[in-house]
Structure 1
Amino acid sequence: MYVQKCGLRATHLEWFNLISSTGKRYIGYSSLKSINNASIEKMSLASSLACLVDESDERKPMNRLELKRFLELRIKKRVKHQFRDGKFHNLIEKVIASPYTLQDAYDSVRVNSKVNLASERDNIDFDSLAEELASGKFDINSNINSISTRGVNKEKLVLPNLKMNVIQEAIRIALEVVYRPHFSKISHGCRSGRGQSSALKYICKEIVNPDWWFPLVLDKKIDTRILSKLISTMESKIQDPKLYSIFHSMFNAGVLNMQFGGFAKGHGLPQEDVLSPILMNIYLDLFDREILNLSMKYEVLDDSQCNESKLRSWFRRQMGPTQGNMSGVRVHCCRLMDEILIVVKGSKEVSLALKSEIETYMQGSLYLDFDSKTNILPCNDIRGVKFMGKIIKRTVIESPAVRAVHKLKEKVELFALQKEEAWDEGMVRIGKKVLGHGFKKVKESEIKHLADCNSVLSHVSCFRKPGMETDHWYKVLLKVWMQDINLKKIDPEEHILSKYITEKALPQDLKDSFYTFQNHAKSYVSSETESTATLLPESSISSESVYITQVFPPLKAIRMCLQRYGITNLEGHPRACHMLVLLDHDHIIDWFHGIVNRWLTWYHLCDEIKLIITEKVRKSCIRTLATKYRLNESEIERKFDSDLSRLPSTENDFVKEILESCYDEGLLYGIPYSGLCLLSLARIVSESRPCTCFVIGCRAAAPCVYTIHAMQRQKFPVWVTGFSSCIHPSIHRRRIGLCKQHLKDLFIGHISLQSISFDSWN
């Protein structure tokens, strides 16, 4: 390096100083001496700063989302070059059948699998693969694999191999470029910025005072009619016979597994190929446009608007006067992939008419089947509506003054309830003592010198059969007594002891005082609410109740999942998950951490989930580790304190986890919907029986082989609870090899079952 300034070369410098403590190089000199002994020039500040040499900072490595965005952007530029005359032409020949596009698609598949792009690559000749695609000689049947169920009922699942995965990924990215700008705003799912969170935000915040709602439950697998309709729809934007020929070949080979209703059954399953989400969005975009037309049809007939626009008035005149008066009608629709929710503000007749038109269009134009038994529910129904694996309800919000009145009422009710529970508990306890005293008397009657010949028990003992045990004889007496007082079999034991044994023996004054207190408490609650409400200002009392939309998790289904996977016992208490005991401690914690990640992603608006995480999931993880190491739970918490911190235990931990669980559904295609499976250790890999990681694009050695357990196989529709709710029977109990990193990624939810190649053993 040399410094040149004002015609002076580096050889003219007498000396220089180099300081590198701050990462920059500062070159300064105190004197310059010319060859001819010229006088020393005084250098200005600007001249000194001109000698400052800055070194460029190194670029930070791109994260996973940035890599995906970069790779898709490169393919996007190639696709846009094929746009002319309002259509995209020859995408297969000009874009997809290109070695550069196929290599970018291969890297995109590896990013989905969370594989380092600098690692060893698979042996794929992209040039020859591109030539086969361009010439139409690519054989799909030789690039797919099928696995069948074990047992009598054979079910086959067709899965693409690596080359087929690369081609499908390239086609998917190309279709995203074409259709992403044209999707409707009511469409959510597998789109950047428009996922589950945006759908819930629209339902809870944007829909104001709805009256009726109903979900549209689809259940249909792709057939020839749907495929023909899909291709005819795509021909309006894409002119490429080779692309449609590949679709037909995929469908005939069974690798195009688009199932309407499949995303509601369980997200991220291996039978849902990478093309299914984009093709489903393209096909159901026809429904999105139709529902917008229907909403316009019903809303333009609104007579409640005095100052309506000219456009609305023109639409009203075009519809004619025969449509009737539909005052105040508003139609809202939210679609998350194949899950659809229709919300109507208006009368029930309007909602029924709209539902009928939607079903007619679905069945007649889109050839889709649906659950015709779905009823229209009022939005203020306490049952709510089931949508996106959640329960959506409308609840009342009260003013602070009214809430204060209700708070006083609730305190009195709680006090009365506590006294009632104490009374019932005392009655049951006394009743049990009475039963024990009676049993004691029956035993005493068997002893001759203790028996009382004048007692009732001695008179009825003559009916005792010879050889009958004491407890059996006592049960017979109780049975006869119950028949005598006409007790029902459905009455619980506590009710019988309290009402028919204890209370009848109590003094009447004691019973009257208790029931008088309860009646006074009930009358006080009702009168206090009315009298206090009259004292409130009129501004605090609203004539109409204010409702808000809230999201609730399916707690019953979640508790069943926890019990099915061995996290809780039959009583709902946390227990050790014995199928995880043979795994390493960090992988055990990762498995429970995966539950937390999924629940905070899907149920971050639900406070009930936080309680289940802290009371059941975290406790089950600790007990699993305690079973593995045979230590006390307190010792386990001290030993793995840093690792267990990944399982939230306080409110601040939940906020941190929610912020870290952000993702992009458009880039991480299908991964956010992946369900959690239970893996058990099958065997340790040895030199005689080596194994490579089954994750697509990963060439690392797998130290262990694991068995997949699908513990939750249910019929449609099911709840999306965080676990794999619907998995193909052929995947159950399959053995897969995974490296340590990808086992962690699968547990936490950074990769899905789509990233696993189930044909690797072949």
Structure 2
Amino acid sequence: MLGVVRKGGFSVRGLWRTLCVVRAGHSVERFRFCEFHSTLSSYEDDDVKRTSDTHNSSAPHVSLAKSLACLTETSSAARIEERPPQTRMQLKRSIELRIKKRVKAQFSDGKFRELMMKVISSPNTLRNAYNCVRINSNIDLRSHDNSGLCFASMSEELARGEFDIQANTTMFDQLVLPNMKLRVVQEAIRVALEVVYRPHFSKTSHGCRSGRGHRSALKYVRKKIRGPNRWLSIKMHKKADARVVSKLLSMMEERIEDVLLFNFVLKMFENDALNLEFGGFPKGEGLPQEGALSPILMNVYLGVLDRELFRLRLRYEGLLDRPSDLRHWFRMQIKDSDDQTEDAETSRTKLHVCRWMDEVLIAVSGSECDVLELKAEIQSFLIDSLFIDAEVSVVDDACRLQFLGVTIRLESKEREAVRAVHKLKDKVRYLGSQKQEIWERGTARIGEKWLARGLRRLKESEIKQLNLSTPTLDKISCHRKEGMKTEHWFKQLLKVWLRDTNAVSEESMEAVLSMRIAEPALPRDLVDSHYEFQRRVREYVSSETSATLALLNPSSGDGEPVALKVEAPVAYMQRSLFRYGLINREGIPRRVASLAFQDDAQIIHWFTGLARRWFKCHHECNNFCEIETMIVDVVRMSCLRTLGAKHRISESNAENRFEEEMAQIPSSKEDVELQLASETVNDDDEALMYGVSHGGLCVLRLMQEPASMNCCDCFVFGCSEASSGEYAVHVMEKQRFPGWRTGFSPAIHVGLNRRHIGLCRKHVDDLYLGFISLQCVNFGRCNS
């Protein structure tokens, strides 16, 4: 209990009550007890000192208001010092939150009104969008900015509808590239559209959405889909035309009322400043003119397909004979339960839908008649309602399905039990083959020694010098002709011996010596024990019966699947590594010739960026152990050999010389697990960092040094640093389909190959490490 110490009409209990009232009433600052105790103690000491020395008028008097102010300032300063620095994702979210508040303020009567006039064209919104672009380019917002953008003039042009899109784009090789102004406007429109449509997107929709990207789509496939007997594969083939754009704008009019915004979007389509193509949509960083506006427009357009698929799910799963089934189905959708047994009892057909942009995966559990009917309805809806040329095909569950650059295959309990049995029998088979190999090697060695000793004795005797005539010696000497060397004579004798022993059909000379020479000379008990052991091994390996499977898995008779296995395309990745020069035809790591003339740090960053991309793309795949082996045995070794070839040193010397820098590339599987645990994989949000989380890998070849070129700024959007040189871009993957996620971008436009750009040293490293992508480069400044 606090005692009452009254001095001059003031009590300690009153101070405590005052602090409690301030804390409960305002809830602005959280007071720490230790700080309050120290302040209270100092106040009591001053009070006692003043009472003991009443004649000392020069002692400073601290008021209660000043004490409280100092207390709150100390608490705030302490919390600011303890606050961790914000990541790129957190910083961009805080900036976008300002735009979202302005967008929500324009909602009235069920629609968002005048977004272009009141929100997008606002100088504050354009400045915030510009900061978002700079964050995508991994630029510190506190750094100096000399872009020269006038947000006030841009705001006036947008508000009057006089923004010239064609003047803010650059075209070469039939590729329209945006300049800085258009990129800022596209970013502002993206944030505004995300606020409008995010609450209305389906939960089955993934890709370039906040919290629903590549990782969430594969997680849904791996954990939610169970027991399908057929798949529906949808292939879309359509580039946006007048009908598609008109349909898209009519969809947007349901929630937005803004003529200026619709006219601006229409102008961007007319000037090819946007790319909206269904089928072959860039998986990764996309084309450089898209920004992040095309993905959200594609999600808006295909949102109608999501609603149609939900209607089909309701029809096939919920509308059954009993009225209670519909209520049960809605309860299961709300709870999002994983219990498949109860749900299977009340549903004839089960549908699982997962869409990532224009890639749609539909798993069906039902009769063949229902599957064919569902296929016809989906295909007719895509063609008639969305004007998309689509091919819907039925795939059996036994086949491997390709989705999002990975392979999906069905695993059942029976298959897992068979694998468990085979795992034990493989060990026994390996032991038997190992013993057989040792036996054959030993007996062949005995036969070789017998043959060498016999031929040596035959050579030393020199039959003609013995002057002996026996049938055996005459038969041997007749095979030696005039002028024949001793080695040729031995070979002729071996051929005759093989023909006489009828051993020509044997696989090799070692097998003949083992079977015909060594084994007959060995003790019979030893030979019989060896062959008895091999017979027992063959009997055990071939003794797989249904009883053994029943012991491992009693319920394996129904063949019920337990999960879907998601596997990375390892074979395709190995072929890609061969094309890029990391390995030879035998799969042995080699030096990358295109990196030999770059700096040591850039070479290491290039290989580190490849490993980081593999961590992000495939760390949740079931065959990630194979990716670990490739990182340790191929990527790291190729990096060492590239550095060794550059400095003309051995691999061990290169590893010792660059030990600290090479720590970024794992040297063992344990290092892979540690580095994967330290990676902030959850910090990649496709809605905010579209094009950065899965950016492509390319090689930059230095063409001119800074001393021999005209001074210019870095080509990255928002960067004001001087360029460290002129680089030629050499893309690794130029095709757009199939979109395998191998660590190299499969969607870099062929028009960007060999383009000359200026980059600062920091952004060269960021591009290699995967912190930025080619989408952050202003290719509109290229002159060649």
Q: Same fold (TM over 0.5)?
A: yes
Cα deviation, 1:155-208, whole Å, max 9, x if unaligned, reads x10011111111111111110110011100000111111111111111111122
SS at match of 2:171: strand
* Matching of residue 387 in structure 1 with residue 403 in structure 2: yes
The answer to whether the aligner puts 1:527 opposite 2:543 as a matched pair is: yes
Q: Which has the higher helix share?
A: 2
Please report how far the alpha carbon of residue 701 of structure 1 lies from its aligned counterpart in structure 2 after TM superposition: 0.7
With the length of structure 2 as denominator, give the TM-score of the two structures.
Answer: 0.76
Quick check: 1:685 aligned with 2:701?
no
Query: 1:705 maps to what in 2?
Result: 726
**2:357 aligned to 327, 333, 337, which one?**
337
Q: Structure 1 pair 272/33, CA: closer, same or farther in 2 (3 Å)? A: same
Unaligned runs of 5+ in 1: 9-21, 149-155, 314-324, 434-451, 459-469, 482-486, 488-494
Cα drift, residue 302 of structure 1 = 5.2
Q: Is 1:194 the equivalent of 2:212? A: yes
Tell me how far 1:726 sits from its aligned partner: 3.0
Deviations 1:30-80 (A, max 9, x none): 722799639999x9xx99997975523146553311221122111111111
Q: Deviations over 1:239-288 (max 9, x none)?
A: 11111111221111111111223435553432433311100110111111
2:775 to 750, 754, 757: 754
Query: Who is 1:665 aligned against?
Result: 686
Aligned to 2:645: 627
Pairing 1:608–2:626 present? yes
Corresponding residue for 1:83? 107
- Distance in 2 (CA, whole Å) between partners of 1:724 and 1:386 is 17
Instruction: Name whichever of 627-636 and 573-582 sits farther off.
Output: 627-636
Are 1:551 and 2:566 matched, yes or no? Answer: yes
Q: Match for 1:388: what amino acid?
A: L
Deviation at 1:429, TM superposition (A): 12
Change (3 A) 1:131 1:32: same
1:143 matched to which residue of 2? 168
Change (3 A) 1:139 1:35: same
- The separation in 2 between residues aligned to 1:604 and 1:206, in whole angstroms, is 19
State the distance in 2 between where 1:270 and 1:668 align. Answer: 14
Deviations 1:613-659 (A, max 9, x none): 11111111122222222222222222222221111233254343353
Residue 714 of structure 1: aligned partner: 735
Following the alignment from structure 1 to structure 2, what is the Cα–Cα distance between the partners of residues 47 and 274?
Answer: 52
Given that 2:319 and 2:326 are in contact with CA atoms closer than 8 Å, whether structure 1 keeps it comes out as no
Matches within 5 A, 1:239-318: 239-263=257-281, 266-300=284-318, 308-309=325-326
> Would the alpha carbon gap of residues 281 and 38 (structure 1) be closer, same or farther in structure 2, given more than 3 Å must change?
closer
Write the letter of the residue equivalent to 1:308.
D
8 A Cα contact 1:704 1:739, kept in partner: yes
Partner SS, residue 672 of structure 1: coil
**Distance (Å, rounded) in 1 between the aligned partners of 2:604 and 2:686:** 26
Report the Cα distance in structure 2 between the residues aligned to 1:715 and 1:39, rounded to whole angstroms: 85
Task: Check whether the contact 1:144–1:161 (CA below 8 A) recurs between aligned residues.
Answer: yes
Q: Greater CA deviation, 280-289 or 682-691?
A: 682-691
Give the deviation of 1:306 after TM superposition: 10
Per-residue deviation at 1:693?
A: 0.8
Change (3 A) 1:37 1:713: closer
Change (3 A) 1:238 1:506: farther
Q: Structure 1 residues 569 and 174, CA, compared in 2 at 3 Å: closer, same or farther? A: same
Which residue identity lines up with residue 121 of structure 2 in the other structure?
Answer: A
Q: What is the rounded CA distance, in whole Å, between the counterparts of 2:447 and 2:354 in structure 1? A: 57
1:39/1:365 CA distance change after superposition, 3 Å? closer
Once structures 1 and 2 are overlaid, which stretch shifts more, 328-337 or 662-671? 662-671
Structure 1 residues 295-330: Cα deviation after superposition (integer angstroms, max 9, x where no partner): 222223557x896346879xxxxxxxxxxx996310
Which of 732, 741, 747 aligns to 2:762? It is 741
User: Which residue is 1:69 aligned to?
Assistant: 93
Q: Distance in 2 between matches of 1:312 and 1:540?
A: 28
| 1:208-607 mapped onto 2 (5 Å cutoff) | 208-263=226-281, 266-300=284-318, 308-309=325-326, 328-371=348-391, 374-378=393-397, 381=398, 383-397=399-413, 406-418=422-434, 521-527=537-543, 529=545, 536=551, 544-605=559-620, 606-607=624-625
Q: Percent identity?
A: 42
Match of 1:123 in 2: 148
Q: 3-state DSSP class of the match of 1:159?
A: strand
Using the alignment, how far apart are the partners of 1:161 and 1:113 within structure 2?
Answer: 15
Q: Which moved more, 1:293-302 or 1:394-403?
A: 394-403
CA, structure 1 residues 739+312, in 2 after alignment: closer, same or farther (shift >3 Å)?
A: closer
Equivalent AA in structure 2 for residue 525 of structure 1: V
Deviation at 1:549, TM superposition (A): 1.4
AA at the equivalent of 1:719 = W
Tell me, in whole angstroms, the C-alpha distance in 2 between the residues paired with 1:192 and 1:631: 48
1:533 and 1:559 mapped to 2: Cα distance?
36
Matched, 1:92 2:116: yes
Deviations 1:716-755, CA, capped at 9 Å, x for gaps: 2241211022322210011211111111111111111111
Label 1:38 to 1:104 Cα distance change in 2 as closer, same or farther (>3 A): closer
TM-score by length of 1: 0.78
Q: How does 1:41-56 map to 2 (within 5 A)?
A: 53=71, 55=74, 56=76
Deviations 1:375-410 (A, max 9, x none): 4121xx2x5211111011222447999887554423
Q: Provide, for residues 325-377 of structure 1, a one-character-per-residue CA deviation record: whole Å limited to 9, x for no partner.
A: 996310011011111111011233322322222122112211223355x4412
- How far apart are the structure 2 equivalents of 1:306 and 1:498? 80
**Is this contact kept in 2: 1:258–1:273, CA < 8 A?**
no
- State whether residues 581 and 624 of structure 1, in contact with CA within 8 Å, keep that contact through their aligned partners in structure 2: yes
Alpha-carbon separation, structure 2, partners of 1:69 and 1:629: 45
Find the aligned partners of 1:394 and 1:340 in 2 and give their Cα distance. 18
Alignment CA distance shift 1:90-1:424 (3 Å)? farther
Pair 1:704–1:244, CA change in 2 (3 A): same
- Residue 499 of structure 1 and its aligned partner are, at CA, apart by 13
Structure-1 residue corresponding to 2:675: 656
Alpha carbons of structure 1 residues 400 and 759: separation in structure 2 relative to 1, 3 Å: closer
CA distance in 1, matches of 2:659, 2:58: 68
SS in 2 for 1:214: strand
Rate the CA distance shift 1:516–1:761 in 2: closer, same or farther, 3 A.
same
Q: Which residue of 2 aligns with 1:447?
A: none
Q: SS at 2:664's partner residue? A: coil
Partner SS for 2:757:
strand
Instruction: Check conservation: 2:443, 2:518, Cα contact below 8 A.
Output: no
Give me the CA root mean square deviation: 4.6
C-alpha contact 2:413 2:560 (8 A) present in aligned 1:
yes
